[in-house]
C-alpha cells in the first residue's frame, strides 16, 4: 500500500512536469490570466477533488441504499 502511494505521486509529478514544460515551450493560446493564478486554482481543484469524493461517496452510498430500501 505504501509503495502504491509513492508510485502514484511519482507518476503525477512526472506527468505534471511534462505538461508544464510543454505549456512553457508552446502555449496553445494567448494568456488572459496570470499563470500563477491559473496553476494555483487548477492544482487546488486537483487536490480537493479526491478529498470531496472520499467524503461524499460514503454518504451517497448510504442514502442511495436507504432510498432503494424504501422504494421496494
Domain boundaries, the chain: 2-71
pLDDT recorded at residue 68: 63
pLDDT recorded at residue 11: 96
Task: Return phi, psi of residue 34, to 5°.
Answer: -70, 150
44-52 CB contacts, 8 Å cutoff, 24+ apart? none
The average confidence (pLDDT) of the chain is 85
User: Which of 7, 3, 16 lies closest to 46, judged by CA?
Assistant: 16
pLDDT recorded at residue 14: 96
- Please tell me whether the overall predicted TM-score, pTM, comes out greater than 0.85 for this model: no
Mean pLDDT calculated for residue range 31-57: 88
Amino acid at each position: 500500500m505504501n509503495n502504491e502511494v509513492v508510485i502514484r505521486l511519482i507518476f503525477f509529478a512526472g506527468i505534471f512536469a511534462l505538461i508544464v514544460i510543454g505549456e512553457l515551450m508552446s502555449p496553445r493560446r494567448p494568456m488572459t490570466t496570470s499563470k500563477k493564478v491559473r496553476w494555483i486554482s487548477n492544482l487546488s481543484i486537483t487536490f480537493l477533488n479526491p478529498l470531496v469524493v472520499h467524503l461524499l461517496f460514503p454518504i451517497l452510498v448510504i442514502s442511495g441504499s436507504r432510498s432503494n430500501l424504501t422504494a421496494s
